[in-house]
Each structure stands twice: as C-alpha cells, then as structure tokens.
Amino acid sequence: MKFFTQSILMGLLLPLTVSAADQPNILFILTDDQGYGDVQKHGHPYLETPHIDRLHDESVRFDNFYVSPSCSPTRAALMTGMHEFRNGVTHTLQPREHLYKDAVILPQLLKTAGYRTGFIGKWHIGGGPGYNPENRGFDWTSTNRKGPRNHFDVDMVRNGKPFKAEGYREDTFFDEAMTFIEESGDQPFFCYLATYSPHTPLAAPEEFIEPFRKDVNEKHATYLGMVANIDYNVGRILEFLEEKNLDQNTIIIFMNDNGETEGLDVYNAHMRGCKCTIWEGGSRAMSFWRWPGKWRPAKVDKLTAHLDVLPTLCDLAGVNIPEELQPQLEGYSLIPLLESEDQDVWTHNDRILFHHVARWPSGLAASHKYAMAAARRGDHLLLRSNPCIDPKCEEYQSQCTTLRLVQNGLTTTTYTNGNAQFHWGVSAIGQWALYNVKDDPACETDLAAEMPELTATLATAYDTWWDDVFPVMIARGGDEGDPNASRRAAAKDKAPRKTTPTTPAKAGTVPASVNSREAAMFNRMDANADGIVTKEEYVTLFQRNFPNMDSNGDGVLVPAEFPYPPSFKIGDTDMNGSLDPQEFEGLYSRQFDGRDDDGNGVLIISEM
C-alpha cells in the first residue's frame, strides 16, 4: 500500500493545467457543531451575524448541501473526497476516527500544484506519528492543547513550538490564520481553519453572551454567543484580506460540519433531526463559496456534498489527479455551478448520496446495515431511523441506546429538552420511509407508499452501495476497537483535571471531593468515553432501571417500587401517587441540572 501511495504522489508531478498567476488562494473555514439555521440569513430569531450574512450575500450558496451526521466522518470526507465508509472514519472515538495512513488527502494534492498549506484548529481525524496534520501534507500547523476543553488563554503549539496565547481561543485561531497567510508571501496558499466553537463545553467572552440572556436560557445564550464570536472573527479576517489586497484573489469557503446541536430547541430552520440523527437536520449544512469578481452570487439548489470539495479545489488549483486515485473519489467538481448562472450545466441530477450515523459499538458493523441509514436523490430522502436488532449491541452504550429509549417514550435526550420524540424519532421498524425534504423539511409525510418506484430504486441503490463499500470500510479500520477498552482508557486518561491553574493532577486520579461510588457512576454514565457526561448519558443510566423497578409491569412506579420519598415527591409532578416514564425521566433531568454547577450542559467528574 505504501508503494501505491508513493506512486500516486509521483504521478501528480505533471504539468499544471492552471498557471501560477491564475491560481487563487483558498481559505476554508469549517465550524464545529454549528447548525444550518445558526445564521441570521437562514431565519434565526435571535442571532445577528452581519459578517457571515455578508459571505452569504456575496457567495455562490449551495442550499441543498450535505455532510456526514457527525464530526470526524465529515472531516475525513472533506480531506479525501471519499465517503467516510470508504476512508474508514466511522466514529469520533479512537481508533475509528483515525484516517488510514495511506490516504492521499487534499493538502498533499494541492502542494503538487505549488500551494503552501496551513492548518489551524480542530483536526480530529487521528493523532500521533503519521496521523497529525504536519504528517499529512500541511506545511504550517497551529492548534491548542486540550482541544475543546480550554477556551481562554490557551496553550498553543505552532509548528511544534508551544506558546501561551491571550484571550479567547477562536480569536487566537483567526490570529494564527492571518499569521500563516501573511507569511505565505506571493505563494498561493490553502488555509484550513477549523474552529472548536460552538462545540461543548460551552464558553464565550461575556460581551457575546449577554445580548441573548433576555431571550433564552444560560446554556443557549452561551451557545449563541459562541456563534456570534465566530461571526465577529469572520469580519476580522475579511477586513484583513482587504487590507492586504488579497480579497480579490482569495476564495473563501464557509461550512459547518454536521447538524444542529446545543441550539436545537431554539431554532433548527424548520428541520427534523440534529447531529447524530439520520433525519434531514442531521446532515444539511451551509456551504458558501465566495470569489469576488469571478463568481456571481447565486443560490444553487442542485444536490451537492462535502464529497465535492476536494475535486473542486483540485480543479481550481490545476491539480492533476492521477488515474489510480480517481476511482476512489466520490464527488464532482462544482466549477460548472460556480461559474455559470445556468444550473442546467450540472449533469449529475441522478446522483445518490448515502448517509449512515455509524456510531455502533466496535465490532458490530455488520448488524447495523439498516440502523440509522439513508439514501438521497434530488429533494427526496429515503431513511430508516431505527436501532439495530442485534442483542449483542444492547450490552453497550451507543446511538442505538438512544433510539431504543426514544422508542420507549424518552422525551429529553442529547440537545433537546422535551422534543426527543420529534428530533430523534424512530421510524417504522424494518421499513423505509420517504420524504420530500424541500417541501417537508420536518419529515412529517411519508411518501413511500405513494412513490413505490422511487422507494425501490433508492432502497436497491443503498443495498448495492453497502455491499460495495463494507469490505473497504472494514479493511480501513472502520469497525476496529473495543468499546469497553476504549472507555477504560479514556477514563484513565481524561478523568484527571487541573487541581490548580498550574498543577496538573496525576493521571488516573479523581478529585478528593468525589468518592469512589460517584467516580464509578460517572464512568458508567460516560457512554462515549470522552471524559464528560451529557444529559442524555446521565438520564440513560437511570432510565434503564425503570423496567426493573416496575415490579408489576404496569408502566408506573409507586412508592413501594421507588423507595426514595424526597425524590418521589419531586418527580411526581401531577401528584397522583405514581411516577410514569416521563416523570421518571424528568426527575433525573432536573437532578442533572442541579449537578451542572457551571450550567454548560455537561458534567465533569468533579460535579458528581
């Protein structure tokens, strides 16, 4: 395989199809966990985003544009031009977020066309020797230690050299992007700027949070403040490019990496679903492409995707993609749509995109073929929002766990307080559902019975795609790892937090204020082993006990079945002497809120 990769890269050393004078600079901004609706131009009721709105108005806007349902798979698809199943990145947890080492990725391709390549921010497709961005074609790299955990005065590492930054993390990231651009001189540059905002944990400078407090709760105000800060920084970099006389020859691409997250209950652009769901809102993304004087601003409704970014940028830069690599690429160059006002120049109207949430327990890929899966053509989305039926899966915490709880009546889970039945809804088990998402973004009217031919066509296409890509995904590590081993390793590594601002805690320890029982409970709750506990993870641990406590199987708990009088009284909101599943869920949801000392929507072990 190494010989194959080297032969591909050698094959790139061919005459360029674009002269250096004609090569545009490229600034690619990718935000983390921002939703399609989280800009003023997309109808948000509270956000004011004048600078992103300016990009919107000055760009070719791909409004029927889709990414993967979660973070790492999207990033891997952007860098490779391959669906995440073909490149093997099927999760956000190790080792399934590691992009296989022999992949030839975008910065490597652009370098062969004379580009200087820079990366700033969140990588999340593998760490360690051979996996870091500096090992994968980036000439210049800058990121912060501890990723999303630290927001202010972060410890940065630029080109291997650490330094202490002052101020807010995303301000620093944009400063670093400007530094890279300025240092590039006359050489064409590709700058990949990937924010951590507005991903949890939530925090932003106070001046960005305060304007939202009059309209929403503290969590949502902080989330919106993080988005507002991104907008502020977009304005800064637009002004910088103008001051340096670079704006006319710099393409700016602005995208988000998956569906809505912490702002779900505030606004979701009328869509059903969020990050890590198969519904429309799980994968629809904004995609603004701006090149002043070259591309006339327009809205494009053709079905497009993150898979198209690599072939488009290679086309623009004059990269000769070798024949050996071309069959693995699954996207199309968007240049016809960028350069022409006539959308009929697009010749891929029959394209089908395939989606899969993919967050199954490692080793169980084969039984998850139809668990949270979809195929899309034009305006139609065929999906199954189902948990798997593999009993082995029930031994682990996974995305199937959430859907099983929703199936049993859960109303509050990740990102939503009370709307889980809608955004995480379970479709008819064992059947495909079909929706026209242009007319029905809330996915309320199933058209499968009315359109049997299209349903059959997309279902057959999905089966063919799965059978084709499955062995490749397995070979490239997409089902590797052990969920229990990963949880133990992450708990050991991530449980320690700073005991003082300057003294790190010893690995494997927990704060003195946390007893062993609380620590063990925390680790059981931390289903994805990321060192934090979400409300979904917290409530789920208790929710699973409801059937066992319901000794007579009547669907409610009476005091004899729930012998904790103070908690029973709090949970029995209708005061009828029993707890139904919704009241039981609400009890632990409120308990979570009580433990969440900083109100950021997640628990760390010291809050137990």
Catalytic positions: 71, 124
Q: What is the dihedral of CA 442, 349, 76, 321, to 10 degrees?
A: -170
User: Which of helix, strand or coil describes residue 458?
Assistant: helix
Separation of alpha carbons 409 and 112, rounded Å: 55
Q: Is the peptide bond before 201 cis (omega within 30 degrees of 0)?
A: yes
Instruction: Extract the tokens encoding 128.
Output: 């360690």
DSSP-based three-state secondary structure for 62: strand
Question: Is residue 521 within 8 Å of residue 533, measured between CB atoms?
Answer: no
What is the amino acid identity at position 132? N
User: Helix, strand or coil for residue 193?
Assistant: strand
- Which H or E run includes 533? strand 533-534
Task: From residue 373, give the alpha-carbon distance in Å to each of 195, 335, 368, 385.
Answer: 28, 30, 9, 7
Closest CA to 24 of 294, 239, 236, 238: 294
Structure tokens of 146?
A: 């501890």
Burial of 474 per CB tally in 10 Å (0-12, 13-18, 19+): middle
Lookup result for tokens 């012998």: 563
Give the span between the Cα atoms of 413 and 399, in whole angstroms: 11
The candidate with the shortest Cα–Cα distance to 71, out of 31, 120, 106, 28, is 31
Question: What number of CA atoms fall less than 13 Å from residue 531's CA on the CB side?
Answer: 19
Q: Write out 380-449 in H/E/C secondary structure.
A: EEEEECCCCCCHHHHHCCCHHHHHHHHHCCCCEECCEECCHHHHCCCCCCCCCEEEECCCCCCCCCCCCC
**384 bridge partner residues:** 373
Rg of the chain over all Cα atoms, to the nearest angstrom: 24
Structure tokens belonging to residue 488: 């133990």
